[in-house]
Amino acid sequence: MHDHPPFEIIGGDPALGLVILADHATNLLPEEYGRLGLPESAFSRHIAYDIGVEATVRGLCERLGAPAVLSRFSRLLIDPNRGEDDPTLIMRISDGAIVPGNHPISEAEWRRRLETYHRPYHDAVARTIAASASAGGRAPLVISLHSFTPAWKGVARPWQAAVLWDSDPRAVRPLLAELEALGLTVGDNEPYDGALRGDTMFRHCMVTGIPHALIEIRQDEIGDAAGITCWVERLAPILDRLNRREDLHEYEIFPSRTGPY
């Protein structure tokens, strides 16, 4: 076993039927990789992790008693929210930053990062979802948390939060309605499209028919302790209400907009 765990599982009640995921929770790197040739300042940017998400997930788990899985490596090392055959799995350039430690990269090193970090994280996600399904005797509701930058290429993003999804609307529609009822500006598949073949939601929920949604929060909304507390207080009752819906604990496979399974 290597000395840098690729994931952390926050314990919770698996019978609750709710599982929370954080693919880009941290900006950590194993010591052997140094800083991948980047300045230290790169690791405070969105290219390294999803700012504010780790603390938000911890707060939600404390409030709800739900289990969660968090990655413990920077997306600059390898991106757990990409399929194994995705060319952006290991980024050579990220938002204008050249990553010297990723280019050139040998096939052996590519495979090593898959086997040491990417696959163990997804194995942990699969085990946690399976434990919830077994304990509750029904499909769990899976919620993935991410964050996005307040602006992109000089253009401000108006959405305070967003819900990303492929074609399964079951958790998405009530979640969007709940967030909009709070008077928030919420993106529906904005600023990104949630249909991404091989990503975490595709791999663990779309192909298995598990109800799910991916929530993106704008990073300035959860950039400090006050913002994180605010969003925990917003989301915890919403997720609790969603989780109490029987229709969000049934298996049903929807065709993906990315093509056939």
Query: What does the pLDDT average to over 46-64?
Result: 98
Query: What does the pLDDT average to over 54-70?
Result: 98
Checking if the pLDDT of 118 tops 50, the result is: yes
Round the average pLDDT of the chain to a whole number and report it. Answer: 97
Checking if the pLDDT of 2 tops 80, the result is: no
Q: For residue 153, what pLDDT is reported? A: 85
Checking if the pLDDT of 160 tops 50, the result is: yes
In SS3 terms, 102-156 reads as HCCCCHHHHHHHHHHHHHHHHHHHHHHHHHHHHHHCCCCEEEEEEEECCEECCEE
Q: For residue 97, what pLDDT is reported? A: 83
Checking if the pLDDT of 1 tops 80, the result is: no
Each residue's pLDDT tens digit, 92-108: 999 888 999 999 999 99
Query: What does the pLDDT average to over 135-153?
Result: 97
Which two three-digit tokens encode residue 207?
Answer: 């192909």
Domain ranges of the chain: 7-249
What is the Cα–Cα distance from 252 to 224, expressed in whole angstroms?
Answer: 38
Dihedral over alpha carbons 215, 83, 23, 32 (to 10 degrees): -160
Checking if the pLDDT of 7 tops 70, the result is: yes
Closest CA to 51 of 254, 245, 217: 217
Contact between 235 and 186 (Cβ < 8 Å): no
What is the Cα–Cα distance from 234 to 241, expressed in whole angstroms?
Answer: 12
Query: What does the pLDDT average to over 205-226?
Result: 98
End-to-end alpha carbon distance in the chain: 34
Q: For residue 204, what pLDDT is reported? A: 98
Domain 7-249 in CATH 3.40.630.40: yes
Q: For residue 127, what pLDDT is reported? A: 98
Question: How far is CA 103 from each of CA 70, 99, 164, rounded to the nearest angstrom?
Answer: 27, 7, 31
Checking if the pLDDT of 67 tops 60, the result is: yes
